[in-house]
Structure 1
Amino acid sequence: MDEEPGLRPLPDGVPELLAAADAPPRLVAHLRLVHDVAARLADWTAAHCPEAAFDRAAVLFGAATHDIGKAVHRSELSGPGSAHEPAGRELLLAAGTPPERARFAAGHASWGPASGLEDLLVSLADKVWKDKRLPELEDLLLDALVRAGGGERWSWFLALDEELTAIGEGAGARLAYQARFPVTGPGAARG
């Protein structure tokens, strides 16, 4: 893919945070892609379950900064590791980000029954952008939707599965876009 997909602009202040962290281009591209998928998931959730109370701006900020700690732990851009999670939280806190927003950097890979809807949406966006489906994570989101909107779980499952399948269809283009950017060097943290 030679052209940039029609990605939404990052939330206000995020490009400056990424520039201050000297985020490499691959990381900036990844965060833009996950942010874009998170916006789609947030829009879908609001449209399909208006009873679900969640902070859309927090979801978008969380998705746009969830891996910012990889600017410090760059080996985790191309390999496994979780050192970026607490490092990202600390980096955001040091930059003046409120703890309720910085939490996404530390918690995007560790979700469970006590996770809030915002956290589940960020975690899901971080998986489904590349068409990775985690039934355990999807089940937690389904539980939250049933609690908020009522109705039959199977009906929520069908609707969510349809949306996640549609998102997954764009994974190849998103992966190709991300791969165009080098793992090293300063990022072009544009909106």
Structure 2
Amino acid sequence: MASTVLQRAFTDPGPDLRPLPPRVEDLLRELHAPPRLAAHLRAVHDVAHRILGWLDLRYGEMAVDREAVLFGAASHDIGKVIHTAELSGPGSVHEEAGHRLLLDHGVEERLARFARTHAAWTEPDIAIEDLLVSLADKVWKGKRVPDLEQKVVDRLAAASGQATWQAFLDLDDLLTAIAAEADRRLAFQSAHPISG
């Protein structure tokens, strides 16, 4: 049974955040995840959902593994259940630890990989799904990363045949709107304690 404070992170409406996928929520309960981690994962998952909805409307011809993106966004920082110092400070040890943790709990590689790749968006031949999880993990808090965004723009233009500048303007409009709501998501995350 999840602690009351962890349960609040799953259920508080906050800034109208969607719930986490049940599989991720169950795993976070089993691991006694810090409430702040659950709140963070909800915020990033919600932003990923919004990005995917936009892609469906504007770039429906682009092949994207929607389930993988949503699971990846909802679980990308799960290694922080082990490396809790990285909840409030810098660090990347949680990435490989989270990947291993997910695999050890029966999560298949196509879904577990995001714990390892969410900060590896500069790698060559990185998949669009990994780029989208990385993008959601940045823009949820209002952070804009031009090089990451350019990689997504290039994929959008290639998939649609659209001019790169048009894909850039489209993506920029979306990310500007998402970033404008960052303070509400940050307040939601901060309202949940690191330990619980």
Which residue number in structure 1 is paired with residue 98 of structure 2? Answer: 88
Paired letter, 1:160: L
CA distance in 2 between partners of 1:134 and 1:72 (Å): 28
Percent of pairs with identical residues: 57
Structure 1 residue ranges without an equivalent (≥5): 186-191
Question: C-alpha separation between the residues in 1 aligned to 2:85 and 2:110?
Answer: 27
> What is the rounded CA distance, in whole Å, between the counterparts of 2:22 and 2:192 in structure 1?
23
- Cα RMSD for the two superposed structures: 1.1
Match in the other structure for 1:188: none
Distance (whole Å) between structure 1 residues aligned to residue 154 and residue 15 of structure 2: 32
Aligned AA (1:146)? A
CA change 1:50–1:27 in 2 (3 A) is same
TM-score (norm 1): 0.94
Q: Which residue type is aligned with residue 120 of structure 1?
A: L
Alpha-carbon separation, structure 2, partners of 1:161 and 1:3: 27
Deviates more, 1:23-32 or 1:104-113: 104-113
The separation in 1 between residues aligned to 2:13 and 2:104, in whole angstroms, is 35
Match of 1:144 in 2: 155
Match of 1:117 among 104, 115, 128: 128
Pairs within 5 Å for 1:59-74: 59-74=69-84
Shift >4 Å, 4+ stretches: none
Deviations 1:24-62, CA, capped at 9 Å, x for gaps: 000000000000000001111121111110111110000
State the 1:12 CA deviation: 2.6
Cα distance in structure 2, aligned partners of 1:46 and 1:158: 17
Where structure 2 has 5 or more consecutive residues not aligned to the other structure, the ranges are 1-11
Amino acid at match of 1:19: R
Matched ranges for 1:17-96 at <5 A: 17-96=27-106
- For the residues of structure 2 that align with 1:154 and 1:94, how far apart are their CA atoms? 43
Q: How many residues align?
A: 184
